[in-house]
Every structure is written in C-alpha cells, then in structure tokens.
Structure 1
Amino acid sequence: MSTSPPSTAHEVGPLDELREAGHAVVRVDGRAILVVAHEGEVFAVDNRCPHMGFPLARGTVDDGVLTCHWHHARFALSCGDTFDPWADDVPSYPVTVDDGVVYVDPHSREERPPAERWSERLDDGLERNLRLVVAKSVIGLLDAGVAPTDPLRTGVRFGTRYRADGWGPGLTILTAMANVLPDFSAEDRKRALYQGLVEVAADCAGEPPRFDQDAFDDRDLSPTRLAHWLRDTVEVRDNDGTERCLRTAVEAGYDDDALAGLLLTAATDHRYLDGGHTMDFVNKACEALDHVGWEHADEVLPSLVTSLTDATRSEELSSWRQPVDLAARLDEAFDRLDDLVAEGAGQEWVEPDDFVQTLLADDHERVVGVLEDAIAAGASPVDLADAVAMAAATRVAQFSTANEFSDWNTVHHTYTYSNAVHALAERVSGADHAAYRAVFDGAVNVYLDRFLNSPPAAIPERGGERDVDDLLDALDETMDREGRVDEAGRLAAHVFDSGGADRLKRRLGAALVREDAGFHTFQALEAGFAQADRREGTERRTCLVAVARYLAAHAPTRREREQTFTIAARLHRGEAIHEE
C-alpha cells in the first residue's frame, strides 16, 4: 500500500530494485543513509556504526538484526536500538513507499534533546566503564551548551556512591581538572572532563557500592562534643562511628567552613596521613562541592571516612622516628601552640626574605624553630602554609634526575599536600591549631625530601625575550621524547620571561590531557597552577617550571585515551573515519 512521502523526503529509487539489491546507500545533506529491504519491509538507518564509524552497509542483516562486522555491534533494524550498550543506538529514519518508489526522510526519529540523550549515555559510560561512551557524552553535552558543572556533578555523585572505599584518585583527578578548566581551550576542556570521568569510572569498576550510615537523631549536639566524637572515632579507626558523626554535622546544618574545619582537625591528630593523600582528598572533596554545590555534602563528605580512619600515620614510620624523632619534636611544638598564638596576637608578621630558604635547610630544628618563631611574631596559618607550599614547589623545580624515577612521587606528595594545606587554611576559620599542625607536617616533609635536591637542578637563568610560539613548539617536542626534563624546565622559564605565562599554562594543560597520565601527573599540574595563580614574579615562575619538569619526566605515554577521544570527536563532527 502506497503512502505519500513528506515534503522533506528524499527519493531512494524503485522498490523492486531495492529488493533485488537488498540495500542501498543514499546521501542526503552530506549524511550517508543505509536503506534495507528485509522481510517484506523497508528500513533506514545511519550508515555509520555509532560505535566507531564503520559503514553498516558492509554488515549483514538476519532476523531483523543488523550486525556491524568490525566489532560485531548489533542493532534492531526496525528502530536502530543496539543490543550492545558500548555501541550506542544508530539513528533510524522514516521510510515511505509511494507508487513503487522508496523515499526516506532524513530527519531522525530521535525526539529527545541532545543534552538529555548524552546525559543518559554518560550514566551508561560510567556504570559500564566505557571510555568511548564517556568521551562521546562529554563532547555531546558541551557542544549542546551544557555547563561543565553538569557532567562534573554526575561524575562526583557517581564516584562517591559506587566505590565502597570512598573518595579516591579518580574523584581527585576529576576535581583537579574542574579546577583548571579556565586555563584550557574549549576542546581541551572536553578532554579534561573526559580524562577525569574515565578515571572515576575505572575506580568504581567492579567495586561494591557504598552504603550509608544514618546521622544521629539528636541534632542539638554541641559542636564541641560532636567534634570530640568525630576525632575519637577516627582515633580508634571506627568507620561507622566516624560516618555517623560526620553525617550528623551535615544534617545539623554546619556551614562549609565548619565542615571543612572538622575534617582538617581530624586529619591532623596524626602526622602526614597516608603520605599526604588524606589531606589532598579532604581539600579536593571541598573543592568539588564548591563546583557542584554544598547541598551535596551529605553525599560527598562521608566518602572521606576511610581516608581518615584507614590511613597510615607517619609517626608510626621509621623515617619520622629515626635518626631524629621528628614526631616527638612536633608534639613539643604543638604543646606550645596556645602560648605561641597568644604571644603573636595583635602582631603583624612580615615574612623575612630568606624564610623559604630556611625551610629548605638541612636542619630540622632550624625548620621547626623558625615556624615557632613566626607564630610568636603573629604569622597566621595562611602565611606559613604559603611559605611551606613555596618550599615544596622548589623541591620539585630542583628535583635531581640523578635520583630514582620513583622519587618524583616523594617530592610530589609533599607538594600536593602543602598545596592542600594552603587551600584549607584559606578556607577555614576557628581551626587554627589544626591548620598550624598541618603546616608543621608539611615543613617536616620538605625537610625529609632534602636529599632529593642533591645536587639541586638549577632554576633556569632569566633569558631575553624570545618568540613565544617558537618556545612553546619546542616545549611540545620535549613531551614527545623521554628524559627532556631540564630542557622542558628551561623552555617553560623562557616562555614566562617572554611574557607568555598564560599561554604556557594553556600549552602545559594541552600536553597533559593528551597523555595517558597517571594520578600524580594530574595532581602535579593542578597544584602547580593553583600555586602559580597565588603568586607573581620569581615564585610564579618557579611553580610553572616545576609543572613543566614533572610533566616532561612522565611523558610521552602511549596516548591511548587521546586516540579514543579523537575518534569520539570525529564521529560527533560527522567526519568519515572509514570509506563508506
């Protein structure tokens, strides 16, 4: 029975010829459409396999199922829906037959707005750990005008729910990338979110979900008592009790400052937890909430519990006890904090010119003593956190490549820890003692890292102004060959000296998101950018040199994730990846 085609329909050809051939491919407005005669009916779908673009005309049809021969993705011919979630649905098109002639309407049957469709697909990609689906979803969402906060929120909520161990590297990477999005180009913002989201999906793959504890019914517990309970439960490594205390604080309406202060206090009752990761996780969880909204604190903050309760406590390590009992020395300083703070009340501390160099000294007593003296002279936690973070950045910028490669992690951990302390000290009020303790821990670890600057790599000397484009191109080349650490640092310094600091950040970001970068490399760039943004002049220059050297030490990689992203981008743009 014939049906009149709509005005938008495109003629395919005689029905008899189509039945004899089995299928035909027609091009409409640059789009290749596969028209198939099967079991007495005619169907039309996009000719590109939505998985990776292979021409479906080279596939086969049997029992109403269209199978792509490349990765064997299967589609219901009648509607385009896939049997295989990793492949995505193929767009299908209305077909009419009028007077023995076949027509196809090039307007897909897909009625949902792109943002809604890609949001659902992002959920699928995270749930099934499908890297290509995540890449397509991020590209589709941002091209549909969705704010980056939306996929970020999806990733944060997913990561905190579907990993029993709670906050981990994936969520840290995702938040770090959200923090530096303003420094990236539009395309690299997509790459950055994609990188973070695939790390969240990988962290959660095969893991049991996290089940919530309930808050206490008593919402009128005094903040002092609840803080004591929280610290006591962390002390005895009681996960459930810690979570109930934390949830009670959230449900009692504590503001973000007070919640961050609770966590900072609990994270500093013991020394340098989990090699610095605990402090960084606490800070990143707070920063994630800054992006997605503190109304999600009840989902996000409880994911930090195991980072607090299960963490290695550095006072239990020989490096903190022998040959010098550093933990005991800090206990002495902490016992004096009340007196030191009282002595400094009302004074305005001015940082001495050599203060950071003193923190880099080969004398633990001098390091601890200069911090004590600074507090007594009115130095705030933020003042001291700033100086310790700068000392830690200098350790990275002057890391000696004569060390073992794994030692990069050691100076890196101190740096990201110190950056987290700096950010938390700026955030909280009423938790000064905890912030001071965190500063001392960072300073001691800067001291412990002193041998990794033996001999120290030289900070590049200032050069005259040069062409920034040429310098950046040369910097890119250092990321394509192993071991170009010092050259990368020198080029980064010269870009800075030539007035290209912002362009340098953009190029370093571009280099990062094209690599199969590890957890620490993402952290290193974000911490370096955060510290550089707080500084100017020589200090800012040193922070960016540190980033360039660290990235160059960890490049190149196989860049498999970039290949996946490129495929997704080309498919989204409608480019032909294979001949049709």
Structure 2
Amino acid sequence: MASEPESDAFHEAVPLAELEAEGRALVAVEGVPVALFHHEGEIRAVNNRCPHMGFPLTEGSVDEGVLTCHWHHARFELSCGDTFDPWADDVDTYPTEVREGVVHVNPTPRRSDPPAVHWRERLDDGLEQNLRLVLAKSAVALQDVGVDPAETVETGVLFGTRYREGGWSSGLTILVALANRLDDLDDEDRKRALYQGLTEVTSDCADQPPKFDQEEFAARDVPFERLESWFRENVEVRDADGAERTLRTAVAAGATPEQLTGMLVAAATDHRYLDTGHTFDYVNKATEALDLIGWDHEAAADVLASLVRGLASADRAEERSSWRQPVDLAAMCDETFDRLDDLVAEGEGKEWKRPDGFTDRLHAADPEEVFDALEGAIEDGATVEQLARAVAYAAGRRVALFATNNEFSDWNTVHHTFTFANAVHRAAQRTETTELYRGVFDAAVNVYLDRFLNTPPAPEPSPDPDADPDEELEGLLTCFETQGRVNRAGAHAAHYLDGGGDPERLKAELGSALVREDTGFHTFQAYEAACRQFDLREDAAERRDLLVAAARYLSAHYPTRREREGTFSIAARLLDGERVHGADAGSDAEVATGDD
C-alpha cells in the first residue's frame, strides 16, 4: 500500500452529518468521481465508476462490508476495493479525513502499483479465465502506458504454448500473424489487433488441460544429424513423446535456429501436405514467434515443443483420393524426390531467373507440365527460396481469380494452398535444407488441384490509371459493408493501385477492416500472407494481384456481427473515462458536478 498522503492533498467533499443521514454521496474531486459511503461507523471512498463496465457504484448496495454493483453484480471489499469477481477488476479507494464536521477526500488512489504492472497482471487474468473485456482493457491500457507490443505478444505466446495440451493451434497462429502486421496499422488498430489475437489464444486454451512437458535427454554429445533422424522417425511412427524429448534435447544442446527449422520442416514434409497445410503453417508461425521473443528465450523449447503433437497426428494428403486419383500425384512426388539430390547437383553453380510464362506453367491443366517446370528450374539452379516465391505467387493468383460461382467453402481450398505456399516461402528464407523442395512441390500440386476453382476465372480488373484512389478506397470499404460484392472489392483494390494510391495505406485499411470484424482463422491468415508476399515483390502486376486476392477474400467473409468490436469499444471508452450506460453523455465527473 502507498504511504498516507500529505494533509494538504485533501479536498472538502460533503458534511459528515449529511453523509451519515444519506449513507452515501457522490462528489467530484479534482475531476475524479468519488462515491462516499458511511457504513458500520466508517467512512469509505471509492471511484464511482464500476471498473467492470462503468456503472455508478452509488447506485449499488452495501452489506457486511461488501459493495455490490447493481448492473452485473460485481462485488468489492469496501475498505480496500479488492473484487470478489476477477472479471470486474479492483476499484480504486481513496483516503478520507473528517475536519470540523466535513468529510475531506484525497483523490490519489491508495494503490501503489504502476499502471503497467497492474495491466500486466490483468492480462494474465484475462488469458487464464478467458475474460474478453479484461483482455480488451489490457490491450488498450498496456499500449497507452507505453508497453512494447512485443511484450504483450510474448505473454500470449507463452500462455498459449503452456496451457493447451493439443499444442500450437489457430489462436497462436492468429496472434503471431497479427503481430507480424502491426507496423501496417495505426495505434488504435494495433490495440484491436492485439485484443483479437489474445482473444483467439485464450479461446483455444479454454477448457483444455495444460501441456505437461517431456524432459530432454541427459546426453549432450549426440550429433545433431542423429537427433534430427530420431525426431523424424518418432514423428513418422506418431510417437509425440519421443519426438518431443528429442527436440528438447536439440534445443538444450545449442542447435541453431536454422538447424531447428530444418529439423521441423523436414519432418513436416516427410509426408504430403499435412492437415491441408495447417501443420506446416503452424511450424512457420512458431518460428516467427521466436523471431519476436528471441530464439535464446528460456521458453524456446516450449514454443517448438508445442508443434510436436500436431506433426505426429496430422492427416497425410497421400492418404486422400484427390492425391491418388485420377492421377497418382503422390507417386509422382516420390519419383521426383528420389532424384532430388541429383536435380540439385545438376543446378550447382547456375543462377536461375524465373522465365516468362512460368506462372502459366504452374497453372497448367497437365500435372506433368507442372512437374517438368519445377524440376527444370532446379536443374537450372533455382534455390528453394526462388522456387517457393514463384509457387506462392501462383497460389495467390488462384485466390485473385477464384470464381464466386463455386461453393462458398471452396474459398478455404484456394486459401489453404496460398497460406501453405507462403509458409514454405518463409521457411525457405530461414533454411536451405534440400528437403524443403518437397514443400514447394506440395504447394504446386495443390495449385494444380485448385485449377477447377478458376474455371472459369473471375474477371480480372482492367487497368485504370485515371482512377481516383480516394474514391476507390471508399468504394472498397463500402463493399465490406454488404455481402456479395467480391468482384467489385477486387476491382476497387486494383484501381486504387492503378491510380497511384499508396499501397501502405491500402494495407492499413484492409487491416483496419479485418480487426473490426468477428472474422475467422482463415481471414487473418489471408490478410497476413497477402501482405507479406506483396512486401517481398517489386513486380507491379504481381503486387496488384496479391492485394486484389486479399480484398476479394476479405469481402467474401464480411460483414460479421462485430461483437468483438463492441467489446473493444466499451473497453476503450471506459479507459478514456466515458460513460457507457444511460442516455446522457459526458464523463462521470461531469455528472457528479451537474455539468451539462
């Protein structure tokens, strides 16, 4: 508790006799709305705004030292302000003195914790108990007091990896995806993004048992190559416990980020297109999380270990009919992979430049054409990164050309291919392991399988260099307010760029729309992947296609009920001192003093 304040910090509030007669009073002291109570012979002063939703506590009731708010029945210990209900937060209390029959109040709260400490603790409470309003308040308040967003992301990542037995899943993926794009957003939308990500993490963990860790081996002199072999073999036979012990041993033995990434992506590509690409995307997002919090972080092993159960239990695409009939695509992959080392050796010392028409070859209706294009590129010296970049664009273009006469669920099909290809490309920027070429082929096979969803393709927006960027942006945002304007949204995004609009502004507006919706897992992924691929390219046509793909995908999934935006708005208004109940406007301090 803080030390008692100086006597001159007290301000006259209300006559003691009046307070004794009425039992309570509302006063404004230096702009602070203070609720005074005379209870059991004691004078108590608390902030009149219930910390849960801002309801006036003078309209509550007091019994046996417990103050109860009558809106949502939050309860507070009257003398210290501590709540019985963690979803409500503690209420500030203030020192009082009686001087010559008049109650005086010091408006400095008794609590001594700095705001950053308080809101870090509240963030933990919100995650542990799945309290969305608490998470929203924490996301807003921590940014307002200058806490680095990376710290908030770190808290969410560590919570999600420790308190979900099933390991890494969509919630953590969303949090990291949004963290990757924070620089695109303004201050308020960064808060929204953090709130959205944290909400997804805690929802994933709700009602799940925590994860109990396997211990690493005591040995530290096992060669990394053997640890990698053990890891892949344990994943192969679906032994998650053995795989986790091996992975933790590699971390403890000091394996580099590149080595650990190589180990994970090798296991993730030993079989085809695990869980429609989600497994590999989770691997990528976990490594990106460590980019944010540090690979030398003491929890690095926990972050990576959270991937193991998913790797070991994933559905394998070669077990599905689409990869076997009418063309045995899995067998074609195996035949190429048997020759992969020879293909790479043939390309040693060569420099590959993507030839004209390469995307068309990847979009070919004959899988032999697709395989020939990829194999020829490797023989001509194409690195994993170069080839993954080319396939990622081919996958993104499938989204840009997705025909809306398909079933709505088929958006997920082209989306999965694109985000998987993006993850492979991102991994290729970390490690040059030859096994990663297999991920490139997996992505390319799915680009081939998705061909029917572009038959016929959606109309491509014709170039319009005379377009007014402001008008096009306004038109795009209007599309997000009405269902079924997918093609129109794509045209507005394209024409915005055609007319010389700032792409950074377009990405910011797309992100702003995203974090205001009750959007799903895939929509977060689609935005992040499109923006990342956009940033990595210089070709204007490719960049245009990628943001058209993002705009079309987002438009197909908007609008939503926007319940989360409502919660966020309440949190922001409460922290700004606004009232969120009743018909009257203004702050509680204005109401207390009778100001209009």
TM-score by length of 1: 0.98
Gap runs ≥5 in structure 2: 583-590, 592-596
Deviations 1:429-454 (A, max 9, x none): 3x12x111000000000000001111
**Matched residue type, 1:381:** V
| Alignment partners' CA distance in 2, 1:578 and 1:118 | 24
Aligned partners of 1:285 and 1:5: how far apart in 2? 52
Which residue type is aligned with residue 335 of structure 1? D
RMSD: 1.2
**Residue in 2 that maps onto 1:313:** 316
Do residues 351 (structure 1) and 341 (structure 2) align?
A: no
Whole-Å separation in 2 of the counterparts to 1:576 and 1:72 = 18
- Corresponding residue of 1:250: 251
Paired with 1:77 and 1:297, the residues of 2 have a C-alpha distance of 44
- Contact residue 162 and residue 302 of structure 2 kept, 8 A: yes
Question: Would you say how many aligned residue pairs link Structure 1 and Structure 2?
Answer: 576
8 A Cα contact 1:5 1:97, kept in partner: no
Letter in 1 for 2:504: D
The residue aligned with 2:20 is: 19
Q: Deviations over 1:377-423 (max 9, x none)?
A: 11111111011000000000010000010000000000000000000
Cα distance in structure 1, aligned partners of 2:30 and 2:330: 71
Deviations 1:49-98 (A, max 9, x none): 11111111111111111111111101111111111000011111111111
Give the structure 1 partner of residue 557 of structure 2.
554
**Distance in 1 between the 2:471 and 2:110 partners?**
50
Alpha-carbon distance in structure 1 between the residues aligned to 2:493 and 2:458: 15
Distance 1:558 1:6, change over 3 A: same
Measured against aligned partners, the alpha-carbon deviations of 1:449-489 in whole angstroms (never above 9, x if no partner) come to: 00111110122111124332332222111111111111111
What are the Cα deviations for residues 312-355 of structure 1, in whole angstroms up to 9, with x where unaligned?
00000000001110000011111111111111111111211100
Matches for 1:93-108 after TM superposition, within 5 Å = 93-108=94-109
Q: CA deviation at 1:218?
A: 1.1
| 1:172 alignment partner in structure 2 | 173
The aligned runs of 1:246-325 (5 Å cut-off) are 246-294=247-295, 295=297, 296-325=299-328
TM superposition shift of 1:253? 0.2
Paired with 1:73 and 1:208, the residues of 2 have a C-alpha distance of 28
Residue 333 (str. 1) matches residue 336 (str. 2): yes
Aligned-partner Cα distance in 1 for 2:187–2:388: 33
Secondary structure class of the residue paired with 1:51: coil
Show the 5 A alignment for 1:521-532: 521-532=523-534
Q: Quote the residue 2:546 is aligned against.
A: 543
Shift of 1:4: 11
- The residue aligned with 2:585 is none
Instruction: Give the counterpart letter for 1:379 in structure 2.
Output: A
Once residues 96 and 269 of structure 1 are traced to their aligned partners in structure 2, the CA distance between those partners, rounded to angstroms, is 74
Distance in structure 2 (CA, Å) of the matches to 1:495 and 1:112? 49
Matches of 2:344 and 2:294, distance apart in 1? 34
Q: How far apart, in 2, do the equivalents of 1:106 and 1:471 lie?
A: 51
1:483-498 mapped onto 2 (5 Å cutoff): 483-498=484-499
Q: Quick one: which amino acid aligns to residue 568 of structure 1? A: A
Q: Match for residue 199 of structure 1?
A: 200
Give 1:220-259 correspondences, 5 Å limit: 220-259=221-260
- 2:403 pairs with 1:395: no
1:5 CA displacement: 7.7
- 1:509 aligned to 2:511? yes
User: 1 CA distance for matches of 2:96 and 2:441?
Assistant: 72
1:21-53 Cα offsets, whole Å, 9 max, x none, are: 111111123321111111111111111111111
Q: Letter of the aligned partner of 2:311 in structure 1?
A: L
Q: Describe how 1:372-521 pairs up with structure 2 within 5 A.
A: 372-429=375-432, 431-432=433-434, 434-498=435-499, 499-521=501-523
* DSSP 3-state at the match of 1:569: helix
Kindly state the Cα deviation for residue 154 of structure 1 after the two structures are TM-superposed.
0.5
Is contact 2:29–2:105 with CA below 8 Å preserved after alignment?
no
- After the TM superposition, which residues 208-219 of structure 1 pair with which residues of structure 2 at under 5 Å, given as runs? 208-219=209-220
The 1:156/1:5 distance shift into structure 2, 3 A limit, reads closer
The whole-number CA distance in structure 2 between the counterparts of 1:313 and 1:367 is: 21
1:567 deviation in Å?
Answer: 0.4
Give the fraction of aligned pairs with identical amino acids, expressed as a percent: 61
Query: What is the rounded CA distance, in whole Å, between the counterparts of 2:530 and 2:6 in structure 1?
Result: 61
Distance 1:5 1:293 in 2: 46
Structure 1: runs of 5 or more not aligned: none
**Partner SS, residue 87 of structure 1:** coil
Specify the code of the residue in structure 2 equivalent to 1:411: V
CA distance in 2, matches of 1:367, 1:95: 79
Which letter maps to 1:551? L
Give me the whole-angstrom Cα distance separating, in 2, the residues matched to 1:174 and 1:243: 24
Name which of structure 1's ranges 217-226 and 173-182 shifts more when overlaid on structure 2: 217-226
The question of whether the paired residues in 1 share the 8 Å contact of 2:537 and 2:543 is answered with yes
Which ranges of 4 or more aligned residues in structure 1 deviate by more than 4 Å? none
Distance 1:36 1:214 in 2: 56
Work out whether residues 13 and 29 of structure 2, in 8 Å CA contact, stay in contact via their aligned partners in 1: no
Indicate the residue corresponding to 2:586 in structure 1: none
Find the residue that maps to 1:395 and give its secondary structure. Answer: helix
Supply the distance in 2 between the matched residues of 1:403 and 1:254 (Cα, whole angstroms): 47
SS at 1:108 equivalent: coil
Q: Distance in 2 between matches of 1:244 and 1:483?
A: 50
Aligned amino acid, residue 409 of structure 1: N
Counterpart CA distance in 1 for 2:392 and 2:100 is: 78
- Counterparts of 2:61 and 2:545, CA distance in 1: 60
CA distance in 2, matches of 1:328, 1:284: 29
In 2: Cα distance, 1:23 partner to 1:578 partner: 21
Q: Quote the offset at 1:223 in angstroms.
A: 1.5
Displacement of 1:165: 0.4
**Which residue identity is paired with 1:306?**
R
TM-fit CA distance, 1:12: 1.1
More divergent stretch after superposition (27-36 vs 411-420): 27-36
Q: Is the 8 A contact 1:4 1:97 kept in 2?
A: no
User: Structure 2: how far apart are the matches of 1:168 and 1:209?
Assistant: 14
Distance in structure 2 (CA, Å) of the matches to 1:223 and 1:435: 18
Question: Do 2:168 and 2:306's aligned partners in 1 also have CA atoms closer than 8 Å?
Answer: yes
Contact 2:12 2:103 (C-alpha < 8 Å) held by counterparts? yes
- Counterpart Cα distance in 2 of 1:8 and 1:549: 59
Counterpart of 1:577, as a letter, is V
Q: Which residue of 1 aligns with 2:133?
A: 132
Q: Which amino acid counterpart does residue 457 of structure 1 have in structure 2?
A: A
